[in-house]
Amino acid sequence: MAVKERRGDLYLYFRPFKNKQIGLKVDVATKTEARQLEAILTRACRTGNYAGLDGAAREACLRMFENQCWELPTEIYVDRRPKEKPTLWEASKLFLKYPEIRSKTSKALAGYTQALVNLASFLGKGVPIKELWVPDLKAYQIERLKQGAAPSTINTELSALSRLFAVMIEMQFVDTNPVRLVKRLSTKANEREVYLSRETVQSIADHCPAWYQRIIWTAYFSGMRRGEILSLTRKQVNLAKRLIHLDPDDTKESRRKRVPIHHELVPILEDAMRVPFLPNGTIFLVQDSRGSRLPGTDSVDNCWPRALEKLKFKEPRPRFHDLRHTWRTNARRSGMDFQIAESIMGHWLKGKNVSDRYGRISDQELIQAIDSLTFDHGETEIIVPSKRKCEHFVNMGTTQKKKASLSLG
């Protein structure tokens, strides 16, 4: 029926049994190969003959049946579970191949992988998953803190382990999830408080490539997350109505979101959209002597710190995500309605209240709110915690000086 590319991956949209159209991610390199795979899968499903499937076709067929919760044909059934009780390392491999997990973004998979590697290095690759219990996990928390890991990092690693246990329960290897019995570490003492002046943002942007400057200013004027910006496509941006529409798959909180476009952001997006675009319509592309292309992880991750190096910023340094905190501060200091500001930002830990459930914010209200937003609300401030005190820094352009030390008691 159709082959579409999303974030660098190819997806089939077809009707294997004539009655229902489904979507299926396929591990092939070209659209031609994807169409060939579609023909093979359609023929197998409609004839009921799966014996001839092999390689990519067999794997795709197996994943399709698992995703749709259909009963597997005997010809392609594969018991992927190890015969003995899986070790932590074996469980990790099963976890990363599980259909629900494998469909995550490459960034999410990389995060899961790193967390499981850290866990296995302490708990042991060969420990049976069923033998892990609460004291082991508390000991892990203590050891990681001694190694200098942040509480938020340790919480993230144990969250990955909790997700692994949930999959193991579904696969009937274990009955309980011990991670749920372990209290999360408090992150309050490690929270940063940051406000970036427009002068500071301008100085950082001036030392970045032109294509990355557009990403910086989009974050500064919209409050969007970097991932939301990098995946933004032309179909999602309506410059005439000055609105950006994000689907649940595009946001961390998995909810639709409308982001109004500040009038200063309009020419920046127009400039970005003048670049010859790729078939998937992504707006923010790298531009150099080799032409236009999707930015790689290294390109995206290195521009900001390189600019800080050129500016000779000392610790504590501003982070790209601080642009989002700065937007929220500017919104509050500009007098923006709290509910409208929250709806624009979106918060993945925030539950829906009565206003969210029954109150409808119009497009016009969003535009009026963004037009009221101003950006000159003080100097750059970066407040970071230390072991016994909180050091308060003020950044003025490229200079930094300690302002005060506040005791935490």
DSSP string, 214-233: HHHHHHHHH---HHHHHT-B
Separation between Cα atoms, residue 166 and residue 356, nearest integer Å: 30
Q: CA 185 → CA 140, 233, 388, distances in Å?
A: 12, 38, 18
What does the pLDDT average to over 80-93? 79
- What is the total residue count of the chain? 409
Q: Amino acid identity, residue 315?
A: E
Separation between Cα atoms, residue 322 and residue 318, nearest integer Å: 6
β-strand partners of 291 = 288
Q: CA 2 → CA 69, 125, 197, 374, 379, distances in Å?
A: 22, 43, 48, 45, 52
- Record the pTM: 0.63
Query: Which run of H or of E encompasses 297?
Result: helix 297-311
User: Can you give the pLDDT at residue 384?
Assistant: 80
What does the pLDDT average to over 168-184? 91
Separation between Cα atoms, residue 340 and residue 365, nearest integer Å: 8
Q: What is the largest CA-CA distance in the chain?
A: 76
Could you tell me the pLDDT band of residue 52, with boundaries at 50, 70 and 90?
confident
Asked which of 331-335, 364-368, 385-389, 395-399 is least confident by mean pLDDT, the reply is 395-399
- State both tokens at 294: 């999707």
DSSP strand E in 127-188: where? none
Separation between Cα atoms, residue 221 and residue 373, nearest integer Å: 9
Separation between Cα atoms, residue 304 and residue 203, nearest integer Å: 11
What does the pLDDT average to over 292-301? 85
Query: Which run of H or of E encompasses 309?
Result: helix 297-311
Separation between Cα atoms, residue 30 and residue 212, nearest integer Å: 29
The answer, yes or no, to whether residue 394 has pLDDT greater than 80, is no
Could you tell me the pLDDT band of residue 405, with boundaries at 50, 70 and 90?
very low
Pick 205 or 396 by higher pLDDT: 205
Separation between Cα atoms, residue 211 and residue 201, nearest integer Å: 15
Domains and CATH numbers, the chain: 2-67 (no CATH), 88-187 (1.10.150.130), 193-407 (1.10.443.10)
